[in-house]
């Protein structure tokens, strides 16, 4: 039996803005960078004004304004670095994940089977278990064992050793992209049963990963 093709995932902007936790942290960093930039410019302007617009005050204004502009430049770069939600869902591989723990604060932890190789095209696959705790999984039953199709986004790379695989990968549920339950089901169906079985047999590593505060473990 042929494996179904990967469905097209069309990001619903309103739904994505409401649920996507991957973009929430960068947005907060962006707002913080703008705020810090404005603060440095304001402090520089205060020194310039309070010193009677002297040469020293002007130097302080230039120095503080330069730092402020750096923070504002960071705010501009952050969205470009992350990429758009549609780009993320179009680009990165579809992977199997399941809920492995439900927490008292209504969050759940999902664990996914990913290829953590830094050179997917030419390197050796580095199959790994990645975990992430999330607050929202619309369209899913919040119970252990629930299948959650995701895309896996590479994150931090190891600095000194194990550079053949990523040190961190972020799981992004398809449920954050679209409210259409049919798309979520088709994405789950497009993942081979062999991968779902491999994930199920790998879940045994989760408790040890949690104990050692790991979010990625190469199997």
User: How confident is the model over 4-35, as pLDDT tens digits?
Assistant: 788 889 999 999 989 888 765 555 444 454 55
- Summarised one tens digit per residue, pLDDT across range 134-154 is 999 999 999 999 999 999 988
Q: Nearest Cα to 172, choosing from 7, 11, 5, 29?
A: 11
What pLDDT, on the 0 to 100 scale, is given for residue 189?
Answer: 94
Distance CA 1, CA 19 (A): 35
Residue 166's pLDDT band, with cuts at 50, 70 and 90, is confident
**pLDDT (average), residues 28-46:** 58
Q: How many angstroms separate the Cα of 20 from the Cα of each of 11, 39, 55, 179, 197? A: 11, 29, 49, 12, 27
What pLDDT, on the 0 to 100 scale, is given for residue 33?
Answer: 46
Q: Nearest Cα to 20, choosing from 142, 178, 144, 152?
A: 178
The pTM for the full model equals 0.72
Distance CA 110, CA 95 (A): 12
Distance CA 219, CA 78 (A): 32
Distance CA 126, CA 157 (A): 14
Indicate the average pLDDT of the chain.
Answer: 81
- Summarised one tens digit per residue, pLDDT across range 51-96 is 766 776 677 667 766 765 665 555 455 454 556 889 889 988 999 9
> What would you report as the CA-atom Rg of the chain, rounded to the nearest whole angstrom?
22
Residue 178's pLDDT band, with cuts at 50, 70 and 90, is very high
């Amino acid at each position: 039996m042929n494996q179904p093709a990967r469905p097209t995932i069309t990001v619903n902007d309103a739904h994505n803005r409401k649920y996507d936790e991957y973009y929430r942290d960068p947005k907060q960093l962006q707002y913080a960078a703008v705020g810090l930039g404005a603060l440095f410019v304001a402090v520089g302007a205060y020194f310039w004004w309070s010193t009677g617009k002297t040469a020293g005050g002007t130097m302080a204004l230039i120095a503080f304004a330069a730092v402020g502009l750096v923070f504002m430049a960071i705010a501009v770069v952050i969205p470009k670095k992350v990429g758009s939600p549609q780009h993320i869902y179009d680009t990165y591989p579809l992977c199997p994940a399941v809920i492995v723990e439900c927490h008292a604060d209504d969050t759940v932890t999902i664990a996914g089977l990913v290829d953590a190789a830094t050179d997917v095209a030419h390197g050796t696959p580095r199959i790994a278990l990645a975990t992430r705790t999330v607050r929202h999984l619309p369209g899913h039953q919040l119970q252990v064992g629930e299948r959650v199709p995701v895309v896996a986004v590479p994150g931090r790379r190891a600095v000194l050793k194990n550079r053949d695989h990523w040190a961190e990968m972020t799981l992004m549920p398809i449920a954050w992209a679209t409210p259409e339950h049919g798309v979520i089901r088709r994405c789950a169906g497009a993942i081979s049963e062999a991968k779902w079985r491999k994930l199920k047999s790998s879940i045994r590593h989760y408790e040890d990963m949690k104990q050692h505060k790991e979010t990625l473990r190469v199997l």
